[in-house]
Amino acid sequence: MKHILIDCDPGHDDALAILTALANAQKLNIIGITTVGGNQTLAKVTQNAKNVLSFVSATIPLAMGQKGPLVKEFIPSDEAHGQSGMDGPYFKDTAYPIVDENAVHFMYKQIMSVDEKVTIVGLAPLTNIAILLKSYPEIHEKIEAISLMGGGLTHGNMTALAEFNIYIDPEAAHIVFNSNLPIIMAGLDVTEKAAIKVSEIQALKNKGPVSHLAYELLHFYNQSGRQFGFEDSPIHDLCAIAYLLKPALFTGTHYFVTVDTNEGIGRGHTFADKRLTASQKKNTLVLEDVDREGFVELLVKALEKLDEE
Ligand code: BDR
Ligand code: CA
């Protein structure tokens, strides 16, 4: 059993990652979910988290974190995830309690309250996680790893080189990658291969309440992805959870990875030192390939399980 804490900005793919983690409660003990401004404003992504959690009658504590990045101004965009940050489904019952303290302090308390080490799952800009590491240095020894969706060694999706989660807050990402903690990086190198096909999305329609919710999420996400040239839908954030559940689905390589925080065309790029003589400690397992069918099956099975509950 792994103890995990999920930091997210739902987001269609965040929602599917949360649902898959919830369905696998025998393997993953979710000790908390925290939100951060990213795919939409903090208020909107928190409402989306509430909607998903109340839909499946979850009881995981949920806390709100930072509104935006450490240094730069944050201007949310409707482009990828719509006006609500998770357009598509309509939620009737949207009540869900919020922990009455900032996510960063909440994360600290939750992690310290568990005897074993905790894995942090980062599905959003890394602002909350960076502040946690800087504010409570003693937390390092309680963290097993940080499994994150972010970056890409070869290309980006916000600029030619920078992926969204890193691009929004490169300073935070720099703190996380240079924290000396083991990082598992599900960047665009692998997440764009972890794509669900239209026929597989269609098969979820009316299958059961949670599968149908996933259908509605993915239907919107698929349509929206077309403006970026995608026919199939990469479920980026799910990779960071899927790796924890079934690492054998993935292959990857350990590198020293850091983040470009300079102004210029490389800002927000995650780059790996691939030299055979690279001297810095290899801090990151960069996921590079995925068994796509196995990945989709993991999602479909998780949704089926939640349908039955
Ligand atoms: C990442 O950006 C967000 O739009 C998604 O939720 C994911 O975390 C992909 O670049
Ligand atoms: Ca996300």
CA nearest ligand 1 atom 2, residue: 164
Percent of the chain with pLDDT over 70: 100
Q: Which ligand is nearest to the CA of 157?
A: 1
> Which residues have CB under 8 Å from 231's CB, separation 6+?
198
Across 169-198, average pLDDT: 98
CA nearest ligand 1 atom 4, residue: 39
Instruction: State yes or no: pLDDT of 32 exceeds 80.
Output: yes
Atom nearest to 10 CA in ligand 1: 6
CA gap 181, 86 in Å, rounded: 31
Instruction: State yes or no: pLDDT of 97 exceeds 90.
Output: yes
Which pLDDT score, from 0 to 100, does residue 93 have? 72
Which pLDDT score, from 0 to 100, does residue 297 have? 98
**Side chain identity at 269, as an amino acid letter?**
H
Which pLDDT score, from 0 to 100, does residue 192 have? 98
State whether the Cα torsion 272-277-280-283 is positive or negative: positive
The CA radius of gyration of the chain, in Å to the nearest whole number, is 18
Across 278-295, average pLDDT: 96
Across 170-177, average pLDDT: 98
Q: CA dihedral defined by 150, 154, 160, 161, rounded to 10 degrees?
A: 50
pTM for the structure as a whole: 0.97
Q: How far, in Å, is the centroid of ligand 1 from the Cα of 58?
A: 23
Residue 236: active-site member: yes
In sequence order, what DSSP letters do the residues of 186-230 get, joined into one string?
Answer: E-HHHHTTSEE-HHHHHTTTTSSHHHHHHHHHHHHHHHHHGGGT-
Would you say the CB of residue 240 lies under 6 angstroms from ligand 1?
Answer: no
Q: Which of 3, 81, 219, 236 is catalytic?
A: 236
pLDDT tens readout for residues 271-280: 999 999 989 9
Q: CB of 74 within 8 A of CB of 67?
A: yes
pLDDT tens readout for residues 45-58: 999 999 999 999 99
Complex ipTM, two decimals? 0.98
Which pLDDT score, from 0 to 100, does residue 80 have? 87
